[in-house]
Chains A and B, each alone.
Chain A
């Protein structure tokens, strides 16, 4: 997570020094800017918001399915607990688990994808075979089966399981990109100038993929969020605490969908997840602009 946040932060800092640059960015990327604002908003809500709430969200029989009021902005759930409280607290784990999962799957994809492209031979064949096997198994089903075998009682296990399924597509893409980039003439020129493998890899090849990798990191996050929500919804995660995914599952199980009073209990977490996914997609699109010097200056 922190990497995505700091990347966005950095580019904004660069943009602030010469004012016209960020203004141009905003005017050219209205949707992207909107996405960034929504994303930052959700981040603040989920990571800073909890400090402004009381520590405990206690059960209150008198308030079961109460309607929105000054005390309970979004009403209460089937046990009379505040829904807004759960929304504010419910994003944190979902977000950091998916960010960590995206980080690990991106890490696996870049390391093995780039190595396969650079080394070739039996190593490449082996990596590709494993990739294809994982790719052929439907993602969600694999997740479900894995989750059924492993008792998911810690968020770290959840991260591991989500990263296991997240890397194959990106790995193939990274391998293809490195294969193409390593034959480019500017890489050959760098070889002729004897700049050394580390510089060629990290300064010539990888930066050309940075936007691609970061965008895929963001998509990896959205994939991990889907995966988590599915696991929560199917009740395959035995984790306690407030969580948007868990909220949907509980609301569904308690039949909130069938009662007009309880509908907010089901709709609120869904809206949060949709907003998060949408803003992430918009951010990914805006990032393309930030990384491509051609788009940046034009």
Chain B
């Protein structure tokens, strides 16, 4: 595993050009009935061509908000979104149109993302004709057929004149992918795209998306809460682990999942179910202090994870926000305890639980 991490991290340093999408210090606030919340706070990342970036985290961690800001559907309260080096909110209409067409979304719910009144053919032809990719209806139909084949909807005749309600969830999600591919996008944002699909279909859908990346060079921003999916889909890419609006660990996927460092990531990684029961039993368990995710309206002071963190340092973690810092060649981590351990020259995975937690566990 370690060999693989080195391999991929070397690969990563090779194709650094200009990022297609760059998020700089983006923050998004919402006013809800429960009060003012900050859904996303100070998130940065670069998305390079043909890269895969996965954002993982629990519900409410702000992954979808980040995705919507990257797609230009939601304006950040603070911070900037760049597309090929240009701020998307300072673009003229023509440039913004190019950006809009270059970035496509595949939604989570294949039952809500296809308009029930159009046939599959209508859905695929509309963008092709509107943007003059095809000159005639016949040509558009032909192209729609090719797109359906691209997403493994074969034979095409079984799909093109169907209405969405005549297809299964997995088939609908393939149609969603085909529709996103009509404009030859450079980036696809997949927001929990396989989570509503039956487990038996997931891998084949992921393979279809990987094919688009490997054969057509499409860049993926992949949002999920399922680390097992990340392991399969983004082994060659990057992963950003989010916790209530902040990125806590960011790096190459094999490094972050295989040898996670941040206590939150370690807890998540320990929760991936393995097919082998022996392996599951032998997995490192990380005891959290609490299982409750903090409310977004009442975020803890300092590090947002400190009320659950087994390694928290009193007086530091509950007062000062940790910064995302690079601790080795594989990853960046936002954690005071890890930072101190690295400074002492220790392996951050050997961190001992704090006295408070030891006492708490004793009592239980």
Closest CB in chain A relative to B159 CB, distance in Å:
15
Q: What residue in chain A is nearest B183 (Cβ atoms)? A: A193
Convert B128-150 into 0s and 1s, putting 1 for each residue whose CB lies closer than 8 angstroms to a CB of A: 00110000000000000000000
State which of B130, B179, B182 has its C-beta within 8 Å of the C-beta of A196: B130
Bound CA–CA A186/B71 (angstroms): 15
Q: Is the CB of B126 within 8 A of A185?
A: no
- Cβ of B166 under 8 Å from chain A: yes
Bound CA–CA A204/B126 (angstroms): 11
Q: Is the CB of B163 within 8 A of A297?
A: yes
Convert A154-175 into 0s and 1s, putting 1 for each residue whose CB lies closer than 8 angstroms to a CB of B: 0000000000000000000000
The number of inter-chain residue pairs (CB within 8 angstroms) is: 66
- Cβ of B115 under 8 Å from chain A: yes
- Cβ of A189 under 8 Å from chain B: yes
Interface-side segment among B104-112, B201-209, B216-224: B104-112
Convert B69-100 into 0s and 1s, putting 1 for each residue whose CB lies closer than 8 angstroms to a CB of A: 00101000000000000000000000001001
Q: Is the CB of A185 within 8 A of B117?
A: no
Q: Is the CB of A192 within 8 A of B116?
A: no
B interface bracket (residues with beta carbon within 8 Å of A): 20 to 34
**Known A-B contacts A194-B101, A194-B131; A189 and B113 likewise in contact (beta carbons under 8 Å):** yes
- Cβ of A9 under 8 Å from chain B: no
- Cβ of A151 under 8 Å from chain B: no
Closest CB in chain A relative to B91 CB, distance in Å:
13
Closest CB in chain B relative to A23 CB, distance in Å:
20
Bound CA–CA A194/B72 (angstroms): 12
Bound CA–CA A191/B130 (angstroms): 13
State which of A193, A208, A297 has its C-beta within 8 Å of the C-beta of B127: A193
**Known A-B contacts A185-B107, A188-B107, A294-B165; A194 and B113 likewise in contact (beta carbons under 8 Å):** no
**Known A-B contacts A194-B100, A196-B130, A199-B126; A188 and B105 likewise in contact (beta carbons under 8 Å):** yes
Contacts of A188 in B (CB 8 A): 73, 105, 107, 113
Q: Is the CB of A203 within 8 A of B126?
A: yes
Q: Is the CB of A204 within 8 A of B179?
A: no
Contacts of B116 in A (CB 8 A): 208, 293-294
State which of B73, B114, B180 has its C-beta within 8 Å of the C-beta of A191: B73
Apart from A190-B115, A193-B127, A293-B163, what are 17 other A-B pairs with CB-CB below 8 Å? A185-B107, A186-B113, A188-B73, A189-B105, A189-B180, A191-B73, A192-B100, A192-B105, A194-B127, A194-B130, A199-B130, A208-B115, A208-B116, A208-B117, A293-B116, A294-B165, A297-B163
**Known A-B contacts A192-B103, A208-B116; A185 and B109 likewise in contact (beta carbons under 8 Å):** yes
Contacts of B180 in A (CB 8 A): 189, 192
Q: Is the CB of A195 within 8 A of B114?
A: no
Contacts of A185 in B (CB 8 A): 107, 109, 112-113
Closest CB in chain A relative to B108 CB, distance in Å:
8
Q: Is the CB of A193 within 8 A of B117?
A: no
Q: What residue in chain A is nearest B97 (Cβ atoms)? A: A194
21 pairs, CB–CB < 8 Å, chain A vs chain B: A185-B107, A186-B115, A188-B107, A189-B176, A190-B115, A192-B73, A193-B126, A193-B130, A193-B179, A194-B97, A194-B100, A194-B101, A194-B127, A194-B130, A203-B118, A204-B115, A208-B116, A293-B116, A293-B163, A297-B163, A297-B166
Task: Give residues of chain B (138-184) contacting chain A, Cβ–Cβ below 8 Å.
Answer: 163, 165-166, 176, 179-180, 182-183
Contacts of B105 in A (CB 8 A): 188-189, 192
Bound CA–CA A184/B103 (angstroms): 19
Q: How many residues of A contact B (CB 8 A)?
A: 20
- Cβ of A120 under 8 Å from chain B: no
Bound CA–CA A69/B220 (angstroms): 83
Contacts of A293 in B (CB 8 A): 116-117, 163, 165
Task: Give residues of chain B (272-297) contacting chain A, Cβ–Cβ below 8 Å.
Answer: none
Bound CA–CA A190/B100 (angstroms): 11
Q: Is the CB of A189 within 8 A of B126?
A: no
Contacts of A192 in B (CB 8 A): 71, 73, 100, 103-105, 180
**Known A-B contacts A193-B127, A195-B126, A199-B126; A186 and B114 likewise in contact (beta carbons under 8 Å):** yes
Q: What residue in chain B is nearest A196 (Cβ atoms)? A: B130
Q: Is the CB of A184 within 8 A of B112?
A: yes
- Cβ of A255 under 8 Å from chain B: no
Convert B52-71 into 0s and 1s, putting 1 for each residue whose CB lies closer than 8 angstroms to a CB of A: 00000000000000000001
Contacts of B109 in A (CB 8 A): 185
- Cβ of A41 under 8 Å from chain B: no
Closest CB in chain B relative to A124 CB, distance in Å:
18
State which of B107, B114, B166, B182 has its C-beta within 8 Å of the C-beta of A193: B182
Q: What residue in chain A is nearest B99 (Cβ atoms)? A: A194
The 8 closest A-B pairs by CB, nearest first: A185-B113, A186-B115, A193-B127, A185-B112, A185-B107, A294-B165, A293-B163, A194-B100
Convert A123-162 into 0s and 1s, putting 1 for each residue whose CB lies closer than 8 angstroms to a CB of B: 0000000000000000000000000000000000000000
Contacts of A196 in B (CB 8 A): 130
Closest CB in chain B relative to A187 CB, distance in Å:
8
Closest CB in chain B relative to A244 CB, distance in Å:
38
Contacts of B176 in A (CB 8 A): 189
Contacts of B163 in A (CB 8 A): 293-294, 297
Contacts of B118 in A (CB 8 A): 203
Contacts of B101 in A (CB 8 A): 193-194
Closest CB in chain A relative to B242 CB, distance in Å:
22
Bound CA–CA A81/B96 (angstroms): 74
Contacts of B112 in A (CB 8 A): 184-186
Closest CB in chain A relative to B46 CB, distance in Å:
22
Bound CA–CA A85/B71 (angstroms): 68
Contacts of B127 in A (CB 8 A): 193-195
